[in-house]
Structure 1
């Protein structure tokens, strides 16, 4: 295990493939957890696990696999705002920022919504609002179950944090602008993020109290994932601070850069501990009580930090980590991982042949569980979701993202001040972290 940190500039032009690989692992992990439940491998309430060993491993992945998605979003999207505050640069333009986020998130999600509403849930359509509700990402607030979109509640949560990010960034900038020292600036900027993380923990406790029942309507609201998003923003602050103070990086930043595999071993240890389901039952996908929910909230933050941090440092190298996340297959699956995440549940409904297009009411997964073997269903889910994700990526997502990106570039060029006569044009360096992800 050869760990070394090669010299690298603060800005690179090469795509950070390892971050794509993490997205692939997480998307496949989420698909595996849901498929195991539908196939009866994972236990739930009165139904025992169909395979205790496999169920224990998969239950330990729940809900850790979701965390890196939100951490990556917070880290990647806040970095330009962190440079604005810490480095005195230009504030990112809000219009292009929001347009690019909408282009990245909504088209593939809208395609899924249209397919699920009209093919799986057509018999339930009782008016225009039934169709408009998911397209506007509002189904999470009255929780309207739409077969095939079962895990897509995280997409409205992500979108609402995108809308909130410029406001949070402006608040953090205001708190920090009264001091000149970057370290003191960073400390002030972290205050709102600590409050968001604490608030999300309180919300997690509140929605898991016994009197709230199982999966209350508020469970689907975006507040519970705020801690992971805030963690990513905090990581962005420390990364920009390290760029501004080369040779004086924060301690954990140095450790992650020099020993990335050590961080991944720590993430593996957290996953192994979560397999024991503290305050819960190993191998079961029950709705969490307060103790398990709060424990998993903080385990998710630790797991996500340890997974993402080594890959977010330019020059950090590990042959073991790179072999897992930077190989061509992982990188490709990472590029289409948003589609895999979106489509894997819909593929299950089509495979079970349940829904309006098959002349039936869509059956809920707890009604269908155990009617098919896990290997067969997992194979169908992987093949179907990868195919759907590939088509979505190349026919819908990438054309829209590229078109909006060109529009944003024109807007930015038009707003830039004209150079003085005889001046050398500024060479803009591409941030290696602004790669497109599943969110």
Structure 2
């Protein structure tokens, strides 16, 4: 892209915030079976209805699908600007992804390990016991046992070969091939062999694929004339539709992936003066979008701290919604400054390092010898 798209940044930022509230409300997993998975028409009490509405507004699963669609979309736009041989393009892409994702993750896991040491020293419960091996394996994305959101970061790395294959295939054979590859990614939901058994990728590869698909400029006309009403309806559908269907169906996931793609396409290609687009592009949402990766990583530490303080009160099982909203608000407030500094130093440092490692520097030319 020529620059960061403010509206997409805002969309990403709001999705990151929703993940915090989602996990804060679902802290006690009993709600997964009674409220999250069941459609709203099966709720029997007012509390269940209100909790279901909150879990739909702050739907972390939908947010993760949106993150992956955005990744596929942005990575495709970035690859379009690449030049050189397939090997050169691929090696630069891999190096930059490593430098983009790992520094902030390493920083988060180091802080997590220090937090576990502190809790162990104080004799407090609520944080895993210190385990340097587990922290290291998690930081390297080899074994996710400490930090749950790292599963999605692992997916970002596992998606790299698929993203490259999709890009080169689409570049060689055009948009029709992109539709074919997206169709194959849908079949992967039931047939993990299509993704060579990579963890969780059978459920998520379609999100990357459709994001790359709509990044093709030939799809721009489908989105460029979107009206303000249509965009608001897409946002409403993104939030509401999954409320009325069983949560764990493949069809429900696929429908949400398509809604994510439609929303990303409409926000990016549509009129940037639409009301919804301007709301997404406001400074607060843009800031949240800019720090969203570090925010997504670090909020877990503050969730653990707040849970360790709130759980002894015994109010979560009976008042999960109210307690979750309170905890989520506190976690967001505490996470913001740490995410800001992580983005500024670790993320940006990694991006700069990636550019330095992958930018060819011309050898200095010696001045020509003076004519005799």
Indicate the TM-score class for this superposition, using the shorter chain for normalisation: 0.7 to 0.9
1:131 to 119, 123, 135: 135
Q: What is aligned with 1:71?
A: 69
Alignment of 1:314-325 (within 5 A): 316-325=271-280
When you count helix as a share of all residues, which structure comes out higher? 2
TM-score normalised by the chain length of structure 2: 0.77
CA distance in 1, matches of 2:129, 2:28: 28
CA distance in 1, matches of 2:72, 2:350: 22
Report the CA distance shift for 1:126/1:21 in structure 2 as closer, same or farther (over 3 A).
closer
How far the C-alpha of 1:372 sits from its partner, in A, is 8.0
Alignment of 1:105-144 (within 5 A): 105-120=101-116, 129-140=133-144, 144=145
Q: What is aligned with 1:169?
A: 167
1:341 to 290, 296, 307: 296
Q: What is aligned with 1:231?
A: 210
1:257 counterpart = 2:220: no
Q: Secondary structure at the match of 2:26?
A: helix
Say which is worse superposed, 321-330 or 225-234, in terms of deviation: 321-330
CA distance in 2, matches of 1:76, 1:394: 20
Q: What is aligned with 1:28?
A: 17
TM-score normalised by the chain length of structure 1: 0.67
CA distance in 1, matches of 2:238, 2:94: 35
1:390 to 340, 352, 356: 340
- Cα deviation, 1:107-162, whole Å, max 9, x if unaligned, reads 1111222222342378767876423311220114xxx3x2xx22221000111112
Report the CA distance shift for 1:235/1:46 in structure 2 as closer, same or farther (over 3 A).
closer
1:303 counterpart = 2:303: no
CA distance in 2, matches of 1:160, 1:219: 7
- Cα deviation, 1:279-313, whole Å, max 9, x if unaligned, reads 3xxxxxxxx5xxx3313211221221122002222
2:153 to 155, 162, 166: 155
How far the C-alpha of 1:201 sits from its partner, in A, is 4.9
CA distance in 1, matches of 2:67, 2:321: 31
RMSD: 3.6
Report the CA distance shift for 1:322/1:316 in structure 2 as closer, same or farther (over 3 A).
same
Report the CA distance shift for 1:403/1:219 in structure 2 as closer, same or farther (over 3 A).
closer
Q: What is aligned with 2:124?
A: none
How far the C-alpha of 1:394 sits from its partner, in A, is 1.5
Q: What is aligned with 1:377?
A: 327
